[in-house]
Structure 1
Amino acid sequence: MKKLFILLLGAALLALPAAANNATEADQKWLAVVEKMVTQGKDTVSTTSTERAELAKNWAASKGYTASVAKTENGYQITFSKPIAQN
Structure 2
Amino acid sequence: WDDIPEDMFTDISSSEDWEVRIPGASRRICTSWGWGTIPMYQIAFEELDYRMPFTDLETAVFRHLHVCPSQLHPNSLGFLRAFEMTAA
TM score, norm. by length of structure 1: 0.26
The higher relative CO (CA closer than 8 Å, separation ≥ 6) is in 2
Determine which structure has the larger helix proportion and give its number: 1
TM-score by length of 2: 0.26
